[in-house]
């Protein structure tokens, strides 16, 4: 089931599919470890590996991810994917806006980018013994650019040129076929919320998919959640795989996170429930 509420502004002809995201500080500048405490850059991250759960808390945003559910809210948006129930609520007037915008910061227009899911047919998603190829439907991005500045390394100038710093909510809705030709419904979220400030760069991302059979049962799920924070000199990264799916790249390697490019090495992946 899909429930969507969004007020759209402008259509753009640029494909912007991928980003990363978090928010600035909660308050003090305590320098604690990543797991269960506040980082020196301000975000609070808690990973409960035995329970398969991740929580991220930042400025005006909260992300909670478990084995079979994602809840994520931030400035101007709320999303959730719980089994076969996808809900996306976007307020264009508030999307991606934080305090510095009220102080005279530039407010960019909201863009809506529609990409046919069939265009990702060459990127099969592997879930254990099942392989899914996207067949029909749409990937709809609602995006507001929040900065013209570059991200810090390891992001490249080419990445910045293709994908500006932004708050972006992607809604995935369509069908896929498995290796036996069975058609399944696909629902998902590809969201990113990025902040570039004088203190550095923060970002949090959630990419989730549910594959649903004709009986309405979720048979497989892809669940990838990440956080990156940097002061321009040092950085901290958390990447968590909750699902049982990956995507095959051009070299035949299985990577976590369908429809998503994250420029960090695989040894930074934390597998809570892998495939």
Give this prediction's pTM: 0.80
Supply the range of the domain harboring residue 242. Answer: 2-271
* Distances in whole angstroms, Cα of residue 174 to Cα of each of 8, 145, 205: 20, 27, 21
User: E strands, 26-82, where?
Assistant: 37-38, 44-48, 53-58, 61-65, 69-74, 77-82
Overall number of domains in the chain = 1
What tokens does 42 get? Answer: 């301000």
Please, what are the averages of pLDDT over each run of 10 residues along the chain (275 residues)?
48 29 30 45 74 81 87 94 95 88 76 93 87 95 92 85 91 96 96 87 89 95 85 80 75 58 64 58
pLDDT of residue 42: 59
Angle at 151 between CA 60 and CA 256, to 5 degrees: 80
A 10 A CB-CB count for 73 gives 16
Q: What angle do CA 55, 226, 118 make, to 5 degrees?
A: 120
């Amino acid at each position: 089931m899909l429930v969507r509420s969004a007020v759209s502004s402008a259509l753009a002809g640029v494909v912007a599919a991928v980003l990363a995201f978090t928010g600035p500080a909660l308050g003090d500048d305590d320098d604690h470890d990543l797991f269960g405490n506040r980082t020196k850059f301000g975000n609070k991250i808690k990973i409960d590996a035995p329970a398969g759960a991740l929580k991220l808390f930042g400025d005006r945003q909260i992300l909670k991810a478990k084995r079979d559910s994602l809840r994520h809210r931030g400035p101007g948006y709320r999303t959730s994917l719980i089994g076969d129930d996808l809900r996306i609520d976007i307020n264009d007037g508030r999307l991606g806006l934080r305090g510095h915008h009220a102080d005279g910061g530039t407010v960019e227009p909201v863009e809506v980018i529609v990409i046919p899911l069939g265009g990702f047919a060459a990127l099969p998603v592997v879930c254990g013994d099942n392989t899914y190829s996207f067949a029909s439907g749409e990937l709809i991005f609602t995006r507001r650019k929040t900065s013209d500045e570059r991200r810090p390394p390891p992001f490249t100038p080419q990445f910045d040129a293709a994908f500006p710093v932004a708050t972006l909510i992607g809604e995935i809705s369509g069908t896929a076929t498995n290796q036996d030709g069975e058609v399944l419904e696909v629902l998902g979220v590809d969201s990113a919320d990025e902040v570039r400030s004088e203190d550095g760069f923060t970002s949090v991302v959630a990419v989730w998919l549910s594959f649903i059979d004709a009986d309405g049962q979720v048979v497989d799920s892809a669940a990838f959640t990440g956080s990156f924070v940097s002061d321009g000199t040092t950085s901290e990264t958390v990447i968590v795989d909750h699902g049982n799916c990956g995507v095959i790249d051009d070299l035949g390697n299985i990577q976590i996170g369908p429809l998503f490019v994250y420029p960090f090495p695989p040894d930074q992946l934390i597998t809570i429930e892998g495939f």
